[in-house]
Structure 1
Amino acid sequence: MNFFNYFIKDIGIDLGTANTLVYVKGEGIVINEPSIAAVNNKTSQVLAIGEEAKKMLGRAPSHISVIKPLVGGVISDFEMAQEMIRHYFKKIGNNRFFSYYRVVIGIPPNLTEVERKSVEDAVILAGASKVFLIEEPVAAAIGARLPINEPVSTMIIDIGGGTTDIAIISMAGAVTAKSLKIAGDKLNNDIINFVREEFKLLIGEPTAEDLKISIGSAVSIDEKLEMAIRGRDVSNGLPKEVIVKNHHIRSAIHHSLALIIEAIKEAIEKTPPELVGDILKRGIYVCGGGSLLKGIDRLIEEEIGVKTITVDDPLTCVARGAGIAAENLEAHIQLFNSPLKPFDIKGFL
């Protein structure tokens, strides 16, 4: 064994708008927490990161800001993103006097060079020694054990918190890749706006997310779902409770889901005919937190006319794919979005 291997940690990261997942070689997924931080505005002290910070959403006093460092799949608060990644590096660290972190991190397709550089810089400044970027749908396909290296096409849709990433992959490359900023967070906002208009009630994002998860669906379902929620009455500012039903949530998110369907159609239209035949034969794969919305696979199948399959463990496949790529960098060179020098890999194998 190479002496340097003792000091190397190969890490895969899914730096999501909603959640951050970290995969460590030999250990699997070791971190799965919300991408949220709480900061004391008076002292600039970071009070909490992850699950503890999420508990403060909508409940913190005015001198504490609860921040999401990523918006729409892009880093919006560079320092806080760096702090969050550093926090997770410390959680997976060891007591050795020196560690060499090789990180493969997922990014949405179609990021600008500036946005890609921002991700790379944040991870390096947080403590990584080397960073390789991989597009999230490609990482998801690897994590789902789909055959991306074969001369057939695989269509995968990753519906996350900030973005929905659509890719058609063949021979270890994305033939078509598209990212739109309509995903879980946008659906939450749709629900907040609908409840305000329909019930004259103000609610926060945690309540909207509870509604989406508990009673939301992409299509009409037989089950009669409803949920009591509490918020502030728009007219008088007093507390108020209403009953929200499944059809309300369907109405709230209908337009956003229609835009996702339209983007899927556009991606297929840009794909060579032979590869479209593969998609018809093999189906469309969906992953990410949005794939857990009741009936989303059925909606895609009905609108596109192609069988749609939710991958196993859809919440972790991007992190697992990035981790698998990190474990064997040489085998995945062609998938990375940053140039590799021979020393970067071979010098530390």
Structure 2
Amino acid sequence: GIDLGTANSLVYMPKQGIVLNEPSVVAVDVEDNRVLAVGHEAREMIGRTPEGLRAVKPIRDGVIADYRMTEALIKCLIRQVSPRLRFSGPECLISVPAAITSTEKRAVIEVAENVGGKHAYVAKEPVLAALGAGVSIEVPSGSMVVDIGGGTTEVGVVALGGIVSYTSARVAGDRLTEAIVEYLKKEYGLAVGEQTGETLKQELGSALPVEEETREIHGREAVSGLPKHVVISSEEITLAMQNELKEIVQTIKNVLQDTPPELASDIIEKGITVTGGGAQVRHIDDLIARSTGVPCSVAEEPVFCVSYGTGVMLQGLEKYKRALSQGK
């Protein structure tokens, strides 16, 4: 099972659990387009590559933006776990955004088959996230899952083994990070890299105001280009992310408004489950509950829910066939 994410790609193997968790980054030699590094090694090169090298993120907004680099990424993932396989040509199940087009879906299946997958299947992230969070999706009662990943926020209402209503918004963890980087540039004239923005989001980020914490950060003065450091507070990070958080909340409201009344009453009773890396932003569940009037909770191990969901589905392919698309 492969959770092919914008930020990270994870591999789940039945009876073994998550065996690989690598950043979705590929480093290439510009001159001959040769792949030099994948995953953690390639991620360390972001913002530090010398002339002639390029660090590429082949998955953008949850879908393939660079076919060849995605092929290299999946090939590397399968190669790294291949010593654990007792057979060649594994069955692969790959997560995709709920709003994926048939062309994008076909591209994912082709990549998996080209790198040696015996049979390739794709399943939509809200269904996988629900399964991984322990939500029963086969029952006639509705459940809502909000999966806040790196590139997209997937919101889906699942019942009877499939998705009843859903939407996929291109605002998620990466946009929150970008908002922090942009805030520092605008307010302090400080240019920082993506990794600094990500660290600030993880350490100081909160969807609602919290007791103030501060961090000293280093970057480059935008005008002079000289090194500069400033002290930033948790209140400022919360403020920097507000517009993006409002977009995420509005996406959830849109799906609730499109949900049939009977299922809506089920959701009010059960509450909303939040998964994905974005679920780690402090008080995101409180913000959603306060904004929608529906109880909300963060799943256990939210980052791994989609991966765990691929494992559940692989062990019951016949049972969940309504939620699957497959290749040849």
Paired position in structure 2 for 1:332:
320
Partner of 1:265: 253
Q: Bigger radius of gyration, 1 or 2?
A: 1
Q: Name the counterpart of 1:245.
A: 233
Q: Deviation of residue 70 (structure 1)?
A: 0.5
Q: Which residue of 2 aligns with 1:55?
A: 44
Q: What is residue 29 of structure 2 aligned with on the other side?
A: 40
Partner in structure 2 of residue 347 of structure 1? none
Contact kept in structure 1, 2:109 and 2:326, CA below 8 Å? no
Q: Deviations over 1:157-181 (max 9, x none)?
A: 0000000000001111111111000
Deviations 1:247-295 (A, max 9, x none): 2111111001101111111100001111111111110000000000011
2:56 maps to 1:67: yes
Equivalent positions of 1:1-349 (< 5 A) are 12-94=1-83, 99-222=88-211, 224-338=212-326
What is the rounded CA distance, in whole Å, between the counterparts of 2:78 and 2:107 in structure 1?
Answer: 18
Give the AA of the match of 2:117.
Answer: A
Distance 2:275 2:174 in 1: 16
Q: Pairwise CA RMSD of aligned residues?
A: 1.5
Distance 1:283 1:66, change over 3 A: same
Distance between the aligned counterparts of 2:105 and 2:113, measured in 1? Answer: 13
Partner of 2:49: helix, strand, or coil? coil
- Secondary structure of 2:83's counterpart equals coil
Q: Contact between 2:171 and 2:244, CA under 8 Å: does it hold in 1? A: yes
The CA deviation at 1:151 is 1.1
1:142-201 Cα shifts (integer Å, max 9, x gaps): 111111111111100000000000000111111111100000111111111111100001
In structure 1, give the amino acid aligned to 2:200: L
8 A Cα contact 1:167 1:175, kept in partner: yes
The number of aligned residues is: 328
- Secondary structure of 2:302's counterpart equals coil
- The share of aligned pairs that are identical, in percent, is 37
Partner-residue secondary structure (3-state), 1:42: coil
Check 1:13–1:202 CA distance in 2 against 1; reply closer, same or farther (3 A cut): same
Check whether the contact 2:210–2:235 (CA below 8 A) recurs between aligned residues: no
Alignment partners' CA distance in 1, 2:254 and 2:39: 36
Aligned to 2:241, the other structure's residue is in SS state helix
Aligned-partner Cα distance in 2 for 1:315–1:289: 5
Asked if 2 retains the 8 angstrom alpha-carbon contact of 1:135 and 1:337, the reply is: no
Contact (CA 8 Å) 1:38, 1:49: kept in 2 or not?
Answer: yes
Deviation, 1:98, is 5.8
Q: Output the CA distance in 1 between the equivalents of 2:322 and 2:117.
A: 21
Give the TM-score normalised by the residue count of structure 2: 0.97
TM-score norm. by structure 1 comes to 0.91
Counterpart residue type for residue 286 of structure 1: V
SS in 1 for 2:303: coil
Gap runs ≥5 in structure 1: 1-11, 345-349
Unaligned runs of 5+ in 2: none
Aligned equivalents of 1:96 and 1:28: distance in 2? 13
In structure 2, give the amino acid aligned to 1:278.
D
- Give distance in 1, aligned partners of 2:320 and 2:261: 27
1:115 and 1:207 mapped to 2: Cα distance? 32
Could you tell me how far apart the structure 2 residues matched to 1:145 and 1:98 are? 30
SS at match of 1:227: strand
